[in-house]
Chain A
Amino acid sequence: MSHYIFLLVGAVLVNNVVLVKILGLCPFMGVSKKLETAYGMGAATTFVLTLATGSSYIIDHFLLIPFGLEYLRTLSFIVTIAAIVQLTEMVIAKTSPTLQQTLGIYLPLITTNCAVLGVPLINIAYGYDFVESLLFGAGSAIGFSGVLILFAGIRERIEGADVPQHFRGSAIAMITAGLMALAFMGFAGLDKYQ
């Protein structure tokens, strides 16, 4: 049991998908201008990423490995993820218009989120089983959402700050992201207590 907890905490904090593994930077910079949108993007990514890790595990183990087609992993995962995103979007649009309102335009963006492709590939590289894969996927997604929301909160505040003219906008956001990454380095110390 403690193995799973460590796996989850490790995925959320120690091996944070954005700030440590430097994956999914595109939505991290792009959708973090407002707290509300960050919430939406975080929720959408969490949902899709967890689903994607599960389904890619199934495809890998029951389709690609039996036929010795491991070299098609990236390609087939991309196709699967794109399809999942599309399906999710349609289902949400139909069943819950309010959720659609909040997630709305962020769902399609997830297709291009490299964290969603990266995490299933890491799963396979580490040789995780199905439950571990799901946990790692969920943990990464929570880590992504958490960091995204924190970052959006900081950026909202920076909007009102006296940032020197030439550092306004993306420049100060990059600096902030760098400082956040430094701070997250501190979580590496959690490893010692495993």
Chain B
Amino acid sequence: MDILLAIAIMALGAVVLGAALGFASIKFKVEGDPLVEKIEAILPQTQCGQCGYPGCKPYAEAIAKGECDINLCPPGGMEGVQRLADLLGREVKPLEAEEKPKQVAIIDENTCIGCTLCIQACPVDAIVGAAKQMHTIIAQQCTGCELCLPPCPVECIRMEVIPETLDNWKWKFPVIEIKAAPAQAAAEIV
């Protein structure tokens, strides 16, 4: 008899709580996921698809859902992985692919036939040109995603590493050289 009572009470509790939760989930439904936005803010927005998703937002959504790893974004580099790991409380993993220096695409304007295929492929509209006209890349807006390379029928696009200039030069982390003390000084200490 007691056991039936216990079961009844627990069942009652379960029903009450379940009903409350069910009611709340309908009443307090929210759209959108703030986490996706936070993840997306960390991603480099190259829209290159190297992660296997068509753009940075789908990748961010996949991370938020826990469908994929956080180490699939080569343009973001190890630092991006580190920041994602901090945000999501996940383990830092080494990058899947190799980390590359920042690049910019350059069209060899002598061989360009004006087919507009690269313009269609560019995710950020950084290529200007028209059918049968020479195309060129707006270097400032190029994200270096390499998506324009495969569609080019005449292989006239190449990637170039952005050179270091006075504008983008950075102070290096101070490294103190460790030198052997001169023999005389060492002898004095001894």
Indicate whether A and B are direct neighbours in the complex (CB within 8 Å).
yes
A97 to chain B, nearest CB (A): 7
Number of A interface residues, CB 8 Å? 27
**Does A146 touch B at the CB level, under 8 Å?**
no
Q: Which residues of B contact A97 (CB under 8 A)?
A: 30, 34
A87 to chain B, nearest CB (A): 5
- Which of the 9-residue segments B5-13, B123-131, B142-150 touches chain A? B5-13
Q: Are A104 and B5 touching (Cβ within 8 A)?
A: no
8 Å CB interface, B85-110 against A: 86, 89
Q: Which residues of A contact B14 (CB under 8 A)?
A: 79
**Does A176 touch B at the CB level, under 8 Å?**
no
A92 to chain B, nearest CB (A): 9
A138 to chain B, nearest CB (A): 23
- How far, in whole Å, are A67 and B29 apart by their CA atoms in the complex? 37
**Does A171 touch B at the CB level, under 8 Å?**
no
**Does B164 touch A at the CB level, under 8 Å?**
no
A45 to chain B, nearest CB (A): 16
Q: Which residues of B contact A90 (CB under 8 A)?
A: 21, 24-25, 28
**Does B42 touch A at the CB level, under 8 Å?**
no
**Does A157 touch B at the CB level, under 8 Å?**
no
Given pairs A94-B29, A100-B34, 11 additional interface contacts (CB within 8 A): A30-B89, A69-B9, A76-B13, A79-B14, A83-B17, A86-B21, A87-B20, A90-B24, A94-B28, A97-B30, A105-B35
Q: Are B10 and A72 touching (Cβ within 8 A)?
A: yes
**Does A80 touch B at the CB level, under 8 Å?**
yes
- Which 6 residue pairs are nearest across A and B when measured between Cβ atoms? A94-B28, A83-B17, A90-B28, A90-B24, A93-B30, A69-B6
- How far, in whole Å, are A87 and B25 apart by their CA atoms in the complex? 8
**Per-residue interface assignment for chain A, residues 84 to 105, with 1 indicating a CB less than 8 Å from any chain B CB and 0 otherwise:** 0011001101110100110011
Decide yes or no: A72 and B35 within 8 Å by CB, A86-B21, A90-B24 being known contacts.
no
Describe A's contact surface by its main secondary structure.
helix
Per a CB cutoff under 8 Å, which of B2, B5, B9, B21 touches A87? Answer: B21
- How far, in whole Å, are A74 and B189 apart by their CA atoms in the complex? 68
Q: Which residues of B contact A91 (CB under 8 A)?
A: 24, 28
8 Å CB interface, A34-89 against B: 34, 59, 63, 67-69, 72, 75-76, 79-80, 83, 86-87
Decide yes or no: A79 and B24 within 8 Å by CB, A72-B6, A105-B35 being known contacts.
no
Per a CB cutoff under 8 Å, which of B2, B20, B89 touches A83? Answer: B20
**Does A155 touch B at the CB level, under 8 Å?**
no
Q: Which residues of B contact A76 (CB under 8 A)?
A: 10, 13
Q: Are B6 and A79 touching (Cβ within 8 A)?
A: no
Q: Which residues of B contact A63 (CB under 8 A)?
A: 9, 13
Q: Which residues of B contact A101 (CB under 8 A)?
A: 34
